[in-house]
């Protein structure tokens, strides 16, 4: 059964504004059950609890040492101001004495006084303390980042292991009902989103939170009145941010939608570029791209521009606050109610106050998106698994290949039964052909045999043993498969053929290739058996791909063969050779052949004719033709035209 190929792996939704992905103004994907998902995410963090506590302590320590910097620097500014004022006062007194023509003795006395000096030693000590504070703060920050990297990667490592283990336990119907891109997105994009948030955003959130609290405390110690004035500007910042974010969010959502359309169009045109050129539709393709690109430019420009107004607007509000603080602070210094160094420190704190608040608002959005990603991952972990193998499974030591379907009942949904009371008896070494129109249930029959799906009733036995009593791994080792849709991985031709048997020697690989008539074309390649197939094996032809998969099946030497139109992608001459090779391979083995071209199954021991999930006829080729029923009509439609002329299909 082939799976639908996704046009690409979807990315987590979210725009990219001036503050980064998920910033204010960009659309954020929200979890359906935030509390429940957050609790499960915390459960994954619990084993790292001690490290997480250390990270929190390091963040507090780093922030505290960093926050003390402006306050300490203010002391140096105050001492410098005092020295300058003392000098200024001295020279003013001397100037006044001269201008007022004071007695020479008084003027000489002033001149002989020691000139007030700036205490550079004190200022130097302050600067050393500042350097020490920032070095210690950086050290704590480094330790915090190092530990948090370990916490994040270990947590995601455990989650990835759980998801990968879960995927191996999920039934085939889970993968059939979802695109490749959707599944890949959950185990790659969503997992990366969680890792990034844990490693970067969590530490930033902790640091920002502690910074806001610390700055608030430091400002209160300097001046409660000025702190109150700063807090009055906060609601204005929040209102401005909320209004702009709401306005830009619509454009970010449109931007993501149009970007998806554009990416889809580009990928569609890229994968089908030969067809586009063959039908001369390049101009239409370019016109469609330009139209979507123009819309993306318009919406993207608006999204970025409007969200970009946030910082200038916040700076405007903050600058008004600075003016007010400078005026009031200057008056308080004049009245000796506060030192000039404290004003400098307060202004620095005020400049630092808004940034962590904006960061926390941004990170809150990121966390929303991350919890949504975690929820998508947990949805995979919550999927119903395959029925567990028995604790003491049966074994087939020397498989013969006798297969029986006894009163088998099956439906992809319990209320929509596809097969009802199916009975098939296949003897060792027989070739069973399964034919019928598209959607008749041919591949479903094979999937039930290999236990990719569980039956609703009856039983399937191999050599008299119920397949439910076997381990799935042992059951599937009995089969060799050659499908119409070839699957080869990025690796050498040798490794792709050897995939059929782990202990295969070079001689075994070559013999299997010769039997599949693949040896000749492999030897003509520049690197021979060492030729590396690219990601989609597009550096060899479709027919050559099929030959390699047949060689792989021959090498596996299975007890039961499953052939799904195995020669459909090779030329007529090669097909004849492969039919002979497959005939030798099938000798003495039970073989299930899904056929669309009925010419390939004339010699089958038994032909099952399926329609709507039910076997409506069974017998040999000649017996079914003699009946003159569905099979005969199907056969004649392929090989006889309306005017009676033979027409091989």
Q: How far apart are CA 418 and CA 410, in angstroms?
A: 6
Segment 248-253 mean pLDDT: 77
Q: What SS3 class is residue 229?
A: helix
Position 477 scores a pLDDT of 85
- Calculate helix-pair angle for 224-271, 202-222, nearest 10 degrees: 160
On average, the pLDDT of the chain sits at: 79
CA distances from 628 to 179, 334, 595, 608, 624 (A): 42, 114, 19, 15, 7
Q: What SS3 class is residue 336?
A: coil
| Cβ 481 vs Cβ 520: under 8 Å | no
Taking Cα atoms as reference points, which of 429, 426, 446 lies closest to residue 590?
A: 429
Q: How far apart are CA 9 and CA 187, in angstroms?
A: 11
CA distances from 606 to 210, 430, 438, 446 (A): 77, 8, 20, 15
Q: What is the pairing mode between strands 614-619 and 465-466? A: unpaired
Kindly write down the DSSP assignment for every residue of 292-312, as one continuous string. HHHHHHHHHHHHHHHHHTHHH
Could you tell me which residue, 397 or 577, shows the higher pLDDT?
397
pLDDT in tens, 459-495: 999 988 999 999 888 888 888 888 777 788 888 999 9
| Cβ 294 vs Cβ 304: under 8 Å | no
pLDDT in tens, 87-145: 667 667 667 767 776 777 666 666 666 665 667 777 788 788 888 888 888 898 888 88
* Ordered strands of the 479-482 beta sheet: 479-482, 560-564, 590-594, 431-435, 606-611, 614-619
Position 461 scores a pLDDT of 93
Segments of 7-125 assigned E as strands? 16-17, 20-21
Q: Which fold has domain 394-478+592-638?
A: Rossmann fold (3.40.50)
Position 258 scores a pLDDT of 85
Position 569 scores a pLDDT of 60
Q: How far apart are CA 629 and CA 518, in angstroms?
A: 39
CA atoms within 13 A on the CB side of 398: 0
Position 137 scores a pLDDT of 85
Q: How far apart are CA 441 and CA 635, in angstroms?
A: 19
- Is the predicted pLDDT of residue 526 greater than 80, yes or no? yes
Position 82 scores a pLDDT of 67
Kindly write down the DSSP assignment for every residue of 400-424, as one continuous string. ---EEEEEEEE-SBTTB-SEEEEEE
Tokens of 339: 């030192």
To the question of domain 17-221+364-386 being in CATH 1.10.3720.10, the answer is no
Task: Give me the percent of the chain exceeding a pLDDT of 90.
Answer: 4
CA atoms within 13 A on the CB side of 624: 27
State the burial class of residue 524 (Cβ atoms within 10 Å of its Cβ: 0-12, 13-18, 19+). Answer: exposed
Segment 211-216 mean pLDDT: 85
- Is the predicted pLDDT of residue 180 greater than 60, yes or no? yes
Could you tell me which residue, 162 or 100, shows the higher pLDDT?
162
User: Which of 176-185, 606-615, 627-636 is the least confident region?
Assistant: 176-185
User: Which of 135-144, 178-187, 191-200 is the least confident region?
Assistant: 178-187
Position 294 scores a pLDDT of 92
Position 110 scores a pLDDT of 63
Give kind and range of the element (H or E) at residue 173.
helix 172-176
Per-residue pLDDT band at 78 (split at 50, 70, 90): confident
Tokens of 270: 């890229």
Segment 376-399 mean pLDDT: 85
Position 460 scores a pLDDT of 92
Q: Which residues on neighbouring strands pair with residue 532, listed in sequence order?
A: 492
Position 466 scores a pLDDT of 92
Q: What is the pTM of this model?
A: 0.66
- Is the predicted pLDDT of residue 300 greater than 60, yes or no? yes
Position 3 scores a pLDDT of 39
pLDDT in tens, 488-524: 888 899 998 998 788 889 999 998 888 888 888 899 8
Q: Give residue 324's Cα distance to chain centre.
A: 49
| Cβ 521 vs Cβ 561: under 8 Å | no
Could you tell me which residue, 17 or 74, shows the higher pLDDT?
74
| Cβ 573 vs Cβ 600: under 8 Å | no
Position 639 scores a pLDDT of 63
Q: Which residues on neighbouring strands pair with residue 409, listed in sequence order?
A: 457
Q: How far apart are CA 295 and CA 603, in angstroms?
A: 61
Longest dimension (CA), the chain: 145
CA distances from 484 to 443, 546, 565, 593, 596 (A): 11, 8, 5, 11, 11
Q: How far apart are CA 467 and CA 387, in angstroms?
A: 12
CA distances from 123 to 28, 117, 318 (A): 49, 12, 30
Position 27 scores a pLDDT of 56
User: Which of 13-22, 155-164, 187-196, 342-351 is the least confident region?
Assistant: 13-22
Q: What are the boundaries of each domain within the chain?
A: 17-221+364-386, 224-337, 394-478+592-638
Per-residue pLDDT band at 372 (split at 50, 70, 90): confident
Tokens of 140: 């704590």
Task: Give me the percent of the chain exceeding a pLDDT of 70.
Answer: 86
């Amino acid at each position: 059964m082939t799976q639908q190929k996704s046009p690409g792996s979807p990315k987590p939704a979210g725009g990219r504004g001036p503050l980064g992905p998920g910033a204010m103004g960009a659309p954020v994907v929200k979890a359906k059950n935030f509390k429940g998902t957050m609790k499960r995410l915390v459960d994954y963090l619990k084993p790292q609890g001690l490290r997480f506590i250390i990270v929190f302590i390091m963040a507090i320590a780093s922030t505290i040492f960093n926050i003390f910097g402006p306050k300490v620097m203010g002391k140096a500014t105050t001492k410098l101001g005092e020295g300058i004022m003392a000098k200024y006062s001295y020279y003013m007194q001397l100037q006044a004495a001269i201008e007022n023509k004071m007695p020479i003795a008084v003027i000489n006395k002033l001149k002989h006084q020691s000139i007030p000096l700036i205490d550079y030693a004190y200022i130097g000590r302050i600067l050393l303390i500042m350097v020490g504070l920032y070095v210690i703060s950086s050290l704590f920050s480094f330790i915090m980042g190092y530990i948090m990297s370990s916490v994040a990667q270990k947590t995601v490592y455990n989650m990835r292991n759980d998801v990968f283990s879960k995927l191996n336990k999920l039934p085939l119907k889970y993968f059939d009902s979802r695109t490749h891109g959707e599944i890949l997105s959950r185990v790659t994009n969503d997992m990366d989103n969680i890792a990034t948030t844990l490693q970067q955003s969590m530490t930033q959130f902790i640091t920002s939170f502690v910074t806001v609290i610390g700055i608030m405390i430091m400002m209160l110690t300097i001046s409660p009145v000025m702190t109150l004035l700063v807090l009055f500007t906060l609601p204005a910042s929040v209102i401005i941010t909320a209004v702009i974010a709401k306005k830009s969010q619509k454009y970010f959502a449109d931007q993501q939608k149009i970007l998806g359309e554009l990416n889809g169009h580009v990928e569609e045109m890229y994968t089908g570029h030969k067809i586009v050129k063959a039908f001369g539709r390049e101009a239409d393709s370019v016109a469609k791209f330009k139209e979507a690109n123009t819309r993306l430019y318009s919406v993207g420009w608006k999204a970025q521009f409007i969200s970009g107004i946030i910082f200038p607007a916040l700076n405007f509000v903050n600058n008004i606050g600075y003016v007010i603080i400078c005026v009031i602070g200057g008056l308080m210094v004049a009245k000796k109610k506060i030192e000039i160094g404290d004003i400098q420190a307060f202004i620095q704190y005020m400049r630092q106050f808004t940034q962590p608040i904006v960061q926390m608002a941004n990170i809150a959005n990121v966390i929303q998106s991350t919890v949504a990603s975690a929820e998508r991952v947990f949805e995979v972990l919550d999927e119903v698994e395959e029925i567990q193998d028995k604790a003491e499974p049966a074994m087939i030591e020397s498989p013969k290949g006798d297969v029986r379907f006894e009163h088998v009942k099956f439906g992809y949904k319990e209320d929509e039964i596809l097969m009802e009371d199916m009975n098939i008896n296949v003897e060792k070494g027989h070739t069973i052909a399964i034919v019928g129109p598209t959607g008749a249930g041919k591949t479903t029959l094979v999937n039930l045999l290999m236990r990719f799906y569980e039956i609703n009733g009856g039983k399937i036995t191999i050599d008299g043993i119920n397949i439910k009593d076997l381990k799935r791994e042992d059951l599937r080792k009995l089969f060799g498969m050659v499908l119409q849709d070839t699957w080869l991985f990025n690796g050498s031709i040798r490794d792709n053929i050897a995939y059929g048997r782990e202990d295969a020697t070079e001689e075994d690989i070559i013999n299997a290739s010769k039997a599949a008539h693949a040896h000749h074309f492999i030897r003509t390649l520049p690197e021979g058996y060492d030729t590396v197939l690219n990601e989609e094996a597009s550096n060899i032809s479709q027919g050559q791909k099929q030959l390699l998969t047949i060689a792989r099946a021959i090498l596996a030497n299975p007890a039961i063969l499953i052939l799904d139109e195995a020669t459909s992608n090779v030329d007529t001459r090669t097909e004849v050779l492969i039919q002979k090779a497959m005939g030798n391979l099938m000798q003495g083995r039970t073989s299930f052949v899904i056929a669309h071209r009925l010419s390939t199954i004339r010699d089958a021991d038994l032909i099952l004719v399926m329609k709507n999930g039910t076997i409506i006829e069974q017998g040999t080729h000649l017996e079914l033709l003699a009946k003159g029923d569905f099979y005969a009509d199907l056969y004649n439609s392929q090989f006889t035209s309306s005017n009676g002329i033979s027409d091989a299909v």
